[in-house]
Homo-oligomer: A and B are copies of this chain.
């Protein structure tokens, strides 16, 4: 599929303007657009501006509110519970991670939960925000019931993403951001849009039969990464992001939203933060992280492997490249964005 490179600020403003046209306040639209464009910058198009069409349809169908009101439900110092108000998930997400950063800086450790969130974009975006402040952060998020437990075929879980990030020194922060399924559902949807075959091990069809055909592959047939071990991580995500946050989990719906089960829009999430400076002076910690990263990079490679990466390194290098050369966006996604743009008098994307 053909790609066009678009300058970062242009793409961000265009997406923010579309959201603004739907009634999202300008500052909140900006928060959402930054999250999406950052994902494209890092080469994870599945969590990038490709998602604008999903957000537009959700706002129009009434399953996502254009204006986000984040409410404090309980504040206990190290711990904070928020309600994300069923607006675009990024708005509550940024409030939550910034609070978690503040809690860790004040108390050493912080835990901030959000209920009634919606789609957050790439989870690593939030943990990276903490790492950029010199903190360690983990993020856990659940969602609609599309994936069965290991050994089952009844969908009970989302792709239950998990992310962490941690600062380094001269090296880029380490950012790990995964779906606990072998792939994120978005990647299957993107493969369908592209008409590309999917690798073995990603998904099965509705009857549980493995397939490489993205059209036959079922979003309810995604496989956990690494079998029962990956399921154990996914179950942790369901507990921390769903049960602990007083959100929906498994078959249980706990949301003002009427969209439940596979159509569940409300997500719960939890951010855990830790001030590494309580354990080692931050400059010393950064030096040691650099050393560990370089140990990995300088390891002898296995046959057929060109280079060894630490988590987030590939994405960091892509980001630097895309900031320079423009972000590659698929023509189909550009056409989608421009169709929305025309509704709000935005003109074409490349003329922004």
CB pair A244–B296 under 8 Å, yes or no, is no
- In chain A, positions 282-312 with a C-beta closer than 8 Å to chain B are 285, 288-289, 291-292, 295-296, 298-303, 305, 307-311
CB pair A78–B108 under 8 Å, yes or no, is yes
Query: A6 within 8 Å of B by Cβ?
Result: no
CB pair B300–A152 under 8 Å, yes or no, is yes
- Given A108-B79, A109-B111, A226-B229, the answer on whether A252 and B153 have CB atoms closer than 8 Å is no
CB pair B76–A278 under 8 Å, yes or no, is yes
Query: A107 within 8 Å of B by Cβ?
Result: yes
The total of chain A residues at the interface (CB under 8 A) is: 76
Find chain B residues with CB under 8 A from A152 CB.
296, 299-302, 305, 308
Copies in the complex: 2
* In the complex, residue of chain B having the shortest beta-carbon distance to the beta carbon of A73: B279
A 303-326 binary contact with B (CB < 8 Å = 1; else 0): 101011111000000000000000
- In chain A, positions 76-117 with a C-beta closer than 8 Å to chain B are 76-79, 81, 107-111, 113
Instruction: Report Cα–Cα, A107/B111, bound state, in Å.
Output: 11
CB pair A302–B229 under 8 Å, yes or no, is no
Q: How far is the CB of A248 from chain B (nearest CB, A)?
A: 11
Q: How far is the CB of A56 from chain B (nearest CB, A)?
A: 31
Q: How far is the CB of A27 from chain B (nearest CB, A)?
A: 29
5 contacts between A and B (CB under 8 A): A111-B278, A151-B301, A151-B305, A232-B311, A235-B296
